[in-house]
Amino acid sequence: MASVRTTGAFVAAVSISMVLFSYFLCNYRSKRKAPSPISKNKKPGNGLIHAVGNTPLIRINSLSEATCCEILGKCEFLNPGGSVKDRVAVKIIEEALESGQLVCGGVVTEGSAGSTAISLATVAPAYGCKCHVVIPDDVAIEKSQILEALGATVERVRPVSITHRDHYVNIARRRALEANELASKLRKTEKIDGKFLEQIDGCISDVEKKDSIFSSYCSGGFFADQFENLANFRAHYQGTGPEIWEQSGGSLDLFVAAAGTGGTVAGISSFLREKNPNIKCFLIDPPGSGLFNKVTRGVMYTREEAEGKRLKNPFDTITEGIGINRLTQNFKMAKLDGAYRGTDKEAVEMSRYLLKNDGLFLGSSSAMNCVGAVRVAQSLGPGHTIVTILCDSGTRHLSKFYDAQYLSEHGLTPTATGLEFLGI
């Protein structure tokens, strides 16, 4: 009798466990199968352009803890072309296509040795366009190699002053005009026997195409002109600014960044100020740049310092892409409350500090922006939320900013163990 009861209890226990097991299994399976509301809404994006922007905004833990402020960085290095300039390249091309100044199959030209050229070369094929870049011939050869690998054509020219007609920016502008002239010439031609022929005074002659840089670009050209083209400002006013506002829940107090063309600070500061006039915006300016003077004293430079007077920029700063001695249309749109100066040593030390403490491997302008964020925190005190831009990663800066020998030759070897270089 006892053994029957024991067997019954055993069977009951097994049955209950099996019921419970099947319940949990079904529950687990059904949970796994049912798509979450988030994954339901996540449709695949349309091509490469969908991957530009919407970058994460992250808390920079080490700096936040050291300053008792919330210091947030917008991870622009995660854009497909590796920098904040992808947004600008997309906006410049889209606006040019919409206005008809650029047509599919045409060439976008730019005079740039930096990130903008790489971004234009990256996104142009997604619009069915080509990219032609003019750079000074003293720029590291890897830069042309990257651009060529991306499918752009590259012209290396002698470095001269911006006021010279053969400055690389002026040549880039000219190349777009030449491409347009060629396109209109070709439009007048008739294709006979597979050859382009031109109608000149009733005579028919072969179009001399083979000597032209644009022999294959017969759909016209467009000069991107990142310094003066306000599509640059709009990329940030309509994209980066609103993203920062959303991601911070609108609860930021301060924004700080350095300027090259000025598009980033101008677009973001204008947008944030419109949303909340109490948000304060600041510039952090590297050595050799006149913008600090412009913001704090209203004058940019002495007559001798004007960029147009220089035959070639002397060594001013190790940082790349930021600092300028002329007032661009983009920078003029900025809404700034003040400016700070940052040094090369501070930027180098900051980059190593962030690498060690946060695992952030950042380029020189991002490091300078973080110097700016700490300067702002020190001036305005604890409890503020400060946003800055992490423009690109350290991978583009190996030959100077992350090269021990280069740094030692310029007296910039990092030595700090904490943030003592900023007085913390």
Binding stretches for ligand PLP (CB under 6 A):
83, 85, 114-116, 259-264, 321-322, 363, 365, 391-392
| Nearer to ligand PLP among residue 384 and residue 396 (C-beta) | 396
Task: State the Cα–Cα distance between residues 377 and 69, nearest whole angstrom.
Answer: 7
| Nearer to ligand PLP among residue 62 and residue 388 (C-beta) | 388
Task: State the Cα–Cα distance between residues 413 and 89, nearest whole angstrom.
Answer: 35
**Cβ 262 to ligand PLP shortest distance, Å:** 5
Q: Looking at beta carbons, which residue is closest to ligand PLP?
A: 321
**Cβ 104 to ligand PLP shortest distance, Å:** 27
| Nearer to ligand PLP among residue 325 and residue 365 (C-beta) | 365
Task: State the Cα–Cα distance between residues 250 and 245, nearest whole angstrom.
Answer: 5
CA-to-CA dists, residue 77 to 54, 396, 413, angstroms: 12, 11, 25
Instruction: Give me Rg for the CA atoms of the chain.
Output: 28
**Cβ 372 to ligand PLP shortest distance, Å:** 12
| Nearer to ligand PLP among residue 321 and residue 394 (C-beta) | 321
| Rounded to 5°, angle at Cα 28 from 27 and 33 | 95
**Cβ 92 to ligand PLP shortest distance, Å:** 12
**Cβ 117 to ligand PLP shortest distance, Å:** 10
Residue 71: strand pairing partners: 386
DSSP secondary-structure letter at 284?
E
| Nearer to ligand PLP among residue 82 and residue 221 (C-beta) | 82
**Cβ 261 to ligand PLP shortest distance, Å:** 3
Contact 84, 388 (CB under 8 A): no
Instruction: Please give the structure tokens belonging to residue 365.
Output: 């302008």
| Nearer to ligand PLP among residue 341 and residue 384 (C-beta) | 341
**Cβ 65 to ligand PLP shortest distance, Å:** 26
**Cβ 296 to ligand PLP shortest distance, Å:** 18
DSSP secondary-structure letter at 240?
I
Backbone φ, ψ for residue 3 (5° rounding) = -70, -35
Residue 205: strand pairing partners: 198
Q: Residue 109: left if φ>0, alpha if ψ -120 to 50, beta else—which one?
A: beta
Task: State the Cα–Cα distance between residues 4 and 8, nearest whole angstrom.
Answer: 6
| Nearer to ligand PLP among residue 88 and residue 182 (C-beta) | 88
| Nearer to ligand PLP among residue 172 and residue 218 (C-beta) | 172
Kindly report the number of other CB atoms within 10 A of residue 198's CB atom: 15
| Nearer to ligand PLP among residue 115 and residue 219 (C-beta) | 115
3-state secondary structure of 59: strand
Backbone φ, ψ for residue 135 (5° rounding) = -135, 155
**Cβ 391 to ligand PLP shortest distance, Å:** 3
Beta strands 130-136; 153-157: pairing state: parallel
Q: Which of 390, 410, 288, 283 lies closest to 345, judged by CA? A: 410
